[in-house]
Amino acid sequence: MSSPNLLITGVTGFIGFKVLLDSLTAGYTVRAAVRSISQSQWIPSHPRITALGVPDKLSFVEVPDIIREGAYDQAVKDITYIIHLASPLPSPGLDPQTGVYEPNVKSATSILHSAIKEPSIKKVVITFSVFSNILFPPDGKEITEKSRLPDVPGPFDSTITAYSAGKIGALNAAEKFIKDNNPKFAVVKVMPGLALGYDERATALEGISAGTNRMLLGIITGKTSPAPFPAGVGDVADVAKVHLLALGDGVVGSFGVTKRNTFDEAWEIVKRHFPKAIADGIFTQGSQPTIPVDWNAHQTEVRFGFDFKTYEDAVVEVANQYLQLSGKKGA
C-alpha cells in the first residue's frame, strides 16, 4: 500500500463516489473517511472500483461522528490534500435541527480544526452548495460565488429549511475559522447546484434514485411534487471534475457548479430523445415546479476552461441509465 496523499469524506454518497473514482483515475492514493467501515465494504468490491485495478491505492478510516471537534485528527495524519463532502442532505427521516442543520454547520469546521493541527496538509476542498448563497424567497438578483448571507437562526420547520440554513451557516463558520486562524493550507469552496446525472454507484434499478436524481426521475415517471424547488443544477460529472481541478496548484477561492434550469423541461427533453419509451409507457409525465434563481457560475467555466454540461445532458444520462438498469430500450 502506497502512502495516502488524499483524504476524501462522503465517498458512499452520489457525488463522493464519483469524486473517489476520478481521484483514483487521476493517480491519487486515497484514504476514504466513512461513518462505518462495515457499511462501506461494498466500495472496494464495486465493479467501477475493481475495474480501475488499483487496490493498493484505496484505504479506509472510520469517523463515526463528523461534528465532534477533533473528529478527523487521525484521518488527516500525513495527508496532503482533503476533499470534504460528508454531510447530510435534507431527508424526511432526519430531525431538522440535530440531523441536518448542526451536522452541516459543524462538519465544515471540524475538518478545519483537524487539518490545522497537521503540518503535511497543503489544501482543503470543502463542498458547500448553491444554497449557501440563496436568499429565501429569492429576490431576483444575480447570485455568484462571491454572494454571502447572514446566518439564519432556527428553529426550522422542515429539513429543507434546515439544510438551506445549514449550508449558509457552514460557509460563514468556515470563512470565520479561516480568518481567525490563518491556516498555512489553501482552502477551496465548491458550491454545486442540485447534482444530477449518471449515478456510478447504481448497479440495479433501485439504486438509481438513491441520490438527488430522485427528483428528476419523478418528473419523467409520472410523479407530481407539490413543493417548488429552486432552480440550478450541476451534472455530477462536472461537480466531481471541479473538486479535482480545485486541487491544482494556485487554485483558491469559491467555485459555483450550476446552470439555470426549469425542472419540467425534463419532459420535453425525454420526448425528444426517448419517444419509444414514452410510447411504451416507460416514461410518463410528472411535474416539479421551479423557483427561478439567477445563480451565475460562469466564472468557474472561465477559470477551468471548460463548459458545464447542460440540464439536457443530465436528463439524458439519467433516463439512459434508468432504461439500461431496467433492461429496456427507449430511443
| C-alpha 18: how far from chain center | 9
In angstroms, give the least distance from the CB of 257 to ligand NAP. Answer: 8
Beta bridge partners of 201: none
CA distance 129 to 122: 23
**Among the listed residues 171, 195, 242, 297, the single contact to ligand NAP using CB under 6 A:** 195
Residue 13: CB minimum distance to ligand NAP, A: 2
CA distance 78 to 324: 42
Amino acid identity of residue 248, one-letter, is G
Q: Would you count residue 212 as binding ligand NAP (CB under 6 A)?
A: yes
Using CB under 6 A as the binding rule, whether residue 35 contacts ligand NAP is answered as yes
Options 51-59, 86-94, 240-248, 315-323: segment touching ligand NAP (CB under 6 A) = 86-94
Q: Is 4 in the site for ligand NAP (CB under 6 A)?
A: no
Closest to ligand NAP by CB, 15 or 277: 15
Would you count residue 87 as binding ligand NAP (CB under 6 A)?
A: yes
Nearest-approach distance from CB 37 to ligand NAP, in angstroms: 11
To ligand NAP, the closest distance from the beta carbon of 327 in angstroms equals 25
Q: How many CA atoms lie within 13 A of 6 on its CB side?
A: 25
Is residue 93 within 8 A of residue 214, CB to CB? The reply is no
Q: Tell the burial category of 321 from Cβ atoms under 10 Å away from its Cβ (0-12, 13-18, 19+).
A: buried
Q: Does 88 interact with ligand NAP (rule: CB under 6 A)?
A: yes
State in Å, rounded, how far the first CA of the chain is from the last one: 45
Residue 271 in the binding site for ligand NAP (CB under 6 A): no
Q: Which residue has the cell 492514493?
A: 29
Of 14, 65, 8, 15, which is closest to residue 36 (Cα–Cα)? 65
In the complex with ligand NAP, the residue whose CB is nearer, 80 or 159, is 159
CB of residue 40 to ligand NAP, shortest distance in Å: 7
Assign residue 211 a region: left if phi > 0, alpha if psi is -120 to 50, beta otherwise?
Answer: beta
Q: Based on the shown chain and the rule CB under 6 A, indicate whether residue 194 belongs to the binding site for ligand NAP.
A: yes
Q: Please select the residue that binds ligand NAP; options are 54, 89, 205, 278, rule is CB under 6 A.
A: 89
DSSP letters for 10-33: -TTSHHHHHHHHHHHHTT--EEEE
Using the minimum distance from each CB to ligand NAP, give the nearer residue, 13 or 169: 13
> Under the rule (CB under 6 A), what is the footprint of ligand NAP?
10, 12-16, 35, 66, 85-89, 103, 127, 129, 192, 194-195, 211-212
